């Protein structure tokens, strides 16, 4: 039971942190500033729905996709840990992660009719970090049983639900959160994400090189 509880908390926290609803909300505000409320709500709903679909597809089919390309879960876990580490470092140093959204993508997104899909849903919400997290977590859940398996998609739904709620109430949230508060929260979440990333790498190395396990005990 303690292991299951720890896994549930890890799943929920890692997915929420890497989705980063607060950052997504701020980008959402910048992209929809000239739109009316109805259009904003439509974009928030569509972006959340599309991001949810993408993450659930990789949650249940990520392992199969890796098999097609001949990628071991250990290699993907280590690579994913490195990716999440980079995202966490960007958050700590108050930078916009390049795996999330580049200036070019933001500019191009403003000139398109469907910013809900690009760049909001991808790569802002369901970016490489989030996709990596759900694949790695689901692989670990398969070894723990049905309760752990159910925890991963539930965590995905919870994270996207929080993201949708924040985008839906973006105007109120932005008025109440200043830049200083945003940077403080973002850096704290970045530190947590770095710790999760390091744990991903350690577990991946232990699985790929069992003889080295003693050095990480």
CA atoms within 13 A on the CB side of 12: 13
Domains of the chain: 2-216 (1.20.1250)
Helical segments of 111-178, H only: 128-142, 146-168, 170-176
Question: How far apart are alpha carbons 131 and 6 in whole angstroms?
Answer: 21
> Digits of tens for pLDDT over the chain (217 positions)?
568 899 999 999 999 998 989 888 888 887 787 788 899 999 999 999 999 999 999 999 988 988 888 888 788 878 878 887 887 888 788 665 555 545 445 444 444 447 888 778 887 899 888 998 999 999 999 989 999 999 999 999 999 999 999 999 988 887 777 767 777 877 887 888 788 888 888 888 888 887 765 555 4
Q: What is the pTM of this model?
A: 0.76
Q: Which among 47, 26, 199 has a CA at the least distance from the CA of 112?
A: 47
Helical segments of 21-145, H only: 21-31, 37-68, 73-92, 103-110, 128-142
């Amino acid at each position: 039971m303690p292991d299951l509880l720890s896994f549930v908390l890890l799943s929920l926290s890692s997915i929420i942190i890497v989705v980063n609803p607060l950052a997504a909300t701020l980008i959402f505000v910048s992209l929809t500033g000239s739109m009316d409320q109805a259009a904003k709500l439509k974009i928030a709903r569509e972006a959340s729905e599309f991001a949810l679909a993408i993450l659930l597809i990789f949650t249940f089919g990520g392992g199969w996709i890796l098999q097609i390309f001949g990628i071991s879960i250990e290699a993907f876990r280590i690579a994913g840990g490195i990716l999440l580490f980079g995202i966490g470092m960007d958050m700590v140093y108050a930078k916009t992660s390049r795996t999330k959204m580049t200036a070019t993508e933001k500019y191009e997104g403003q000139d398109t009719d469907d910013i809900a899909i690009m760049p909001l849903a991808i790569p802002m919400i369901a970016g490489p970090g989030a996709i990596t997290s759900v694949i790695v977590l689901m692989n670990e859940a398969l070894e723990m049983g049905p309760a752990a398996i159910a925890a991963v998609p539930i965590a995905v739904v919870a994270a996207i639900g929080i993201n949708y709620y924040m985008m839906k109430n973006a105007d109120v949230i932005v008025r109440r959160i200043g830049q200083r508060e945003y940077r403080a929260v973002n850096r704290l979440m970045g530190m947590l994400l770095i710790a999760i990333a390091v744990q991903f790498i350690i577990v991946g190395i232990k699985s790929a090189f069992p003889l080295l396990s003693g050095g990480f005990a």
